[in-house]
Amino acid sequence: MTENPMRELRIGKVVINISVGTSGEPLDNAMTIVKQLTGQQPCQRMAKQTIRSFNLRKKEPMACLVTLRGAAADEFLRKALQAMGRTLNSKSFDRHGNFAFGIKEHIDIPGTRYDPRLGITGMDVMVTVERPGYGITRKKRRQAKVGSSHRVTPEDSMRYMAEAYGVEVGVNQ
């Protein structure tokens, strides 16, 4: 903990994405899995362009995602990190201190049971790490930029994840 409460890091949001590449039953199953894991209704994402070799048409639903904030984000992140063995690759962190990782099978997450009707699917988890005051970039009126001394660096984010979540950040894992 630092003396200044505005310098403390926190999890801004956690985004869970499952891309199945086709619409229909696989997408419905993925949406059911996300709803069971998070308790929130996921939204569908559409294809941006037509790719004939993948049998994919423009504006066809092909993925689903849900955004978690606050206590729900913290709870899901703890479970997801446990599924990863509490290790992250240092290359997973971007220059703003955010990070992402993938889970190969959703049944690796603690508390999840296998359902033969839904099958097994993987997912991407993206995490935004921020400091208090980052809301100034999202305001409608009097919007401003976050100063360079207040921005989160990858090293800050790695240190925070190690202290708050017990995550081991490795160089090449």
Domain with residue 73: its CATH number is: 3.30.1440.10
In a domain, 106, yes or no: yes
In a domain, 29, yes or no: no
Owning domain of residue 10: 5-18+64-170
In a domain, 12, yes or no: yes
In a domain, 47, yes or no: no
In a domain, 146, yes or no: yes
In a domain, 73, yes or no: yes
In a domain, 58, yes or no: no
In a domain, 135, yes or no: yes
Show pLDDT as tens, one digit a residue, over the chain (173 residues): 558 888 899 999 999 999 887 778 888 888 999 998 888 999 988 877 787 777 767 878 888 999 999 999 999 999 999 888 888 888 989 999 899 999 998 888 888 888 888 888 889 999 999 999 888 888 899 989 988 888 999 999 999 999 998 888 887 65
Give the count of domains, the chain.
1
pLDDT given for residue 67 in this prediction: 95
DSSP the chain: --SSGGG--EEEEEEEEEE-SS-SHHHHHHHHHHHHHHSS--EEEE-SS-BGGGTB-TT-EEEEEEEE-HHHHHHHHHHHHHHTTSEEEGGGB-TTS-EEEEES-GGGSTT----TTT----EEEEEEEE-TTGGGGT-SSS--PPPTTTSPPHHHHHHHHHHHH-PEEES--
